A and B are shown apart, each in its own frame.
Chain A
Amino acid sequence: MTAAIARAGRAFGRFWLDFLVGDTPELFVVTLVVVAISFGLASSPRAVAVVVVPLLAFGAVVMSAARGRVRQR
């Protein structure tokens, strides 16, 4: 019984690890950074957060895709 629960727990953990991190750990890290920066900039002038948060995410996808291109060659 305990072994079955442990197995299910491991499978559940593996699923979420693969789902969230997969082969692009950098995008998972960027998401955490976006969340942290959003909280950090929430009280700053609106224009700063509105520009910085999207640009950070957009830049991260571009860099990750460029990295993927190099890796696939």
Chain B
Amino acid sequence: MTTRDWVLVAAVFGASSVEMVEALTIVLAAGTSRGWRSALEGAATALAVLGVLVAAVGVPLIRYVPIDALRVVVGALLLTLGMSWLRKAWLRASGHKALHDEDQIYAETVAELAVDGAAVRTRDSVGFAVAFKGVFLEGTEVVLIVISLGASQGRLGLASVAALAALLIVGVVGAIVARQLSRVPENLIKLVVGIMLTSFGLFWVGEGAGIHWPGSDLFLLALVGSLVVLTMLVVPWLSRSSPTHVAAVPS
């Protein structure tokens, strides 16, 4: 495993964990209020569709698109996504944006789906649709990251395994802790992933455009380190004008 392989695994694993926590909250809410059978079937169907997407889009990308063009496009995609995650994480860490509240999202989804206060025991289309939509929408971002990072390095398999590992771990832990997903340090994970995606984005755009980074792969670590230092400077600076209270919102 090279440096960029390790960074790839960490970035995909982190991004997948965050998105899976958000998806799991919706699946748990759908399962509790509409019955587990439909919720689990909805979640499994969405995962199968996402898997097909990775194979259908990722494999042709690796085989037929010139690697430099692929790296510029993928780098630009990762850079846009990474800067957006980083900005959001900085604003959340400094108190300017509400933290993602899984407890609140869970309670709101359960309230929306509750049918006469009892869970549905047979197949339920609403429970299926809500779980499918939750997993599919949250998973789409993961698929884009898996395809982008995997295809640009020719490591689609490794990226997929990292995402599947995150899915399994979050699934097992989520089943054990059930409604305590709010304890997952989502913003910290999002911050780390934002740093990695921004670093990868810059690295690939530069490499695809013909820039020769000093130290080759090791320059990725320099980019990551620079963004960590920048985060340590920017968050306290943003905090200095922190609002007294920001209400939690489910977004």
Q: Which residue on chain B has the smallest CB distance to residue A73?
A: B243
Tell yes or no: A50 within 8 A of B by CB. Answer: yes
Q: A58-B226, A65-B90, A69-B94 are in contact. Are A27 and B243 (CB under 8 A)?
A: no
For residue A54, which residues in chain B have a CB less than 8 angstroms away from its CB?
202, 223, 226
Q: Which residue on chain B has the smallest CB distance to residue A42?
A: B210
Stretch at the interface among B49-57, B77-85, B112-120: B77-85
Verify B241–A69 contact, CB threshold 8 A. Answer: yes
The minimal Cβ–Cβ distance linking B76 to chain A, given in whole angstroms, is 5
The minimal Cβ–Cβ distance linking B204 to chain A, given in whole angstroms, is 10
A64 to B80, CA, bound (A): 12
The minimal Cβ–Cβ distance linking A32 to chain B, given in whole angstroms, is 8
Chain B interface mostly: helix
Interface residues of A in 2-39 (CB under 8 A from B): 19-20, 22, 24, 27-28, 30-32, 34-35, 38-39
What bracket does the count of chain B residues touching chain A fall in? 35 or more
Verify B83–A49 contact, CB threshold 8 A. Answer: no
A19 to B241, CA, bound (A): 29
Verify A28–B80 contact, CB threshold 8 A. Answer: yes
Number of interface residues of A (CB under 8 A): 33
Listed A/B pairs (26) with beta-carbon separation below 8 Å: A19-B144, A20-B77, A24-B83, A24-B84, A27-B83, A30-B83, A34-B205, A35-B72, A35-B205, A39-B209, A42-B209, A42-B210, A42-B211, A46-B212, A49-B206, A50-B211, A53-B205, A53-B206, A53-B211, A54-B223, A54-B226, A58-B230, A61-B86, A65-B87, A68-B96, A72-B96
**A38-B72, A60-B83, A65-B87 known; 11 other A-B pairs, CB under 8 Å?**
A20-B80, A27-B80, A27-B83, A35-B72, A35-B205, A38-B208, A38-B210, A41-B211, A42-B211, A62-B230, A73-B96
A→B interface (CB under 8 Å)? 19-20, 22, 24, 27-28, 30-32, 34-35, 38-39, 41-43, 46, 49-50, 53-54, 57-58, 60-62, 64-66, 68-69, 72-73
